Amino acid sequence: MRAHGLVPFALAFALGGCSGGGSSGAPVAPISGPVVPSTATFPLSFVIPNKTVQVTSTARAPRYASQGTASVAVYDGATLIYVANYAQATQFTTVYLKTGTTSVTSGSCVAGTSSQTCTVTIATTIGAHTFDVITYPVSQGTQSAPSLIRSPDDVGTIPTFAGVILAEGELSVTLVAGTNPGQTITPLGVADRANLGVSGLTLRLNGTGPLVGIIGTSYTINYTINDSSNAVSGGYQIVQPGDYDNGPVTIAETDGGNIVTMTPISQSTPPAATGPQSFSVTCQNNGTATITAAAKTKPNATYASGLTYSATNYPTGTIGSTTLQCVPNSATLPVTVQ
């Protein structure tokens, strides 16, 4: 019989700043199998920036972190093992702790200058694991859970997750006997909302009507791509490092009327710092153009955990739009469009 040892293992992931509005739901995990005694333990650590600080990883390139983080869920493969609500002042409030094959002891956070380093202790089997981290913009409740996915010995109950996912990520690691090196997971930001606005318009219909563009003139459209945080109007902007979890984000005229000409946007990587990005459109014909931003309704990565996604926990295809009304030039503006 092969002996199993205890495995100390540090796994860090960053949870920090972005934006968006949301519905509710959570990834749906397959039903787990029979409980097997755990044979390895290790501390799992993660860094939560106070505001917009990004944290590097020893295991992979760092990824997006949202300052709008209000709760976190951790999976070992397809099994939900930990759920907690987070606030900078009060740190973690445990909602759910798994027992059995993989179990979790709730942890605490140590405050730094610009972030908090938080640690929970996980007991699991020696060998290959995939740990998933999913963050949400709202606190989670404690609803009842089906008995097939919750042991009577588990602490708390699996919540009915609220809020469109802020970010998610996965780390594959093989645990060996003895002390394992520390790792870091910082999830990829999920594009949930696009804020678009036209600048440079100065003329109005009939002097008091809406601002309009003039055929033959180019205008600038500013935009930001945000996550699902509701903490501020319009949400928190997603920035590097890391790509969008559901990119590319595309922006194009969608009414098919050729009202404006523009070069369509296809953007897989967020900007390096916060602040609006921009592109130009030119009024081509009389009418109102609709310019729409869209993203994928599921992540690009095929996560080993086998989690699945629906509109309840992931953005729909359209994440924002704006319009531009174009009118003919006239020597005696304002003009009237019938």
DSSP for 55-70 reads ---SSS------TT--
Residue 332 within any structural domain of the chain? no
Reference 27, options 70, 89, 83, 68; nearest CA is: 83
Q: What is the pLDDT of residues 156-192, one digit of tens each?
A: 888 888 888 888 888 888 887 766 676 777 778 899 9
3-state secondary structure of 223: strand
Average pLDDT, integer, range 274-290: 95
CA gyration radius, the chain: 24
Side chain identity at 67, as an amino acid letter? Q
Q: Are residues 182 and 306 in the same domain?
A: no
When divided into structural domains, the chain yields a total of 2
Strand partners, 265: 251
Q: Are residues 197 and 185 in the same domain?
A: no
CB-count exposure of residue 13 (10 Å: 0-12, 13-18, 19+)? buried
Which domain, by its residues, includes 138? 9-189
Q: Are residues 180 and 41 in the same domain?
A: yes
Q: Which residues fall within 8 angstroms of residue 69, CB to CB, at 6 or more apart?
A: 15, 16, 48, 86, 135, 136, 137, 166
Query: Which segments within 125-207 are labelled E, that is strand?
Result: 127-136, 155-156, 167-175, 180-185, 188-189, 193-199, 203-204
Q: Are residues 129 and 63 in the same domain?
A: yes
Residue-level pLDDT at 336: 53
Average pLDDT, integer, range 198-221: 91
Query: Does residue 194 contact residue 293 with C-beta atoms inside 8 Å?
Result: yes
pLDDT band at 50 (very low <50, low <70, confident <90, very high): low
In angstroms, the CA 141 to CA 263 distance is 45
In angstroms, the CA 96 to CA 98 distance is 7
Residue-level pLDDT at 144: 46
Q: Are residues 100 and 43 in the same domain?
A: yes
Average pLDDT, integer, range 246-266: 93
Q: Look up residue 149 and give its DSSP letter.
A: G
pTM score: 0.77
Q: Are residues 275 and 317 in the same domain?
A: yes
Q: Are residues 154 and 243 in the same domain?
A: no
How does strand 115-124 pair with strand 211-214?
unpaired
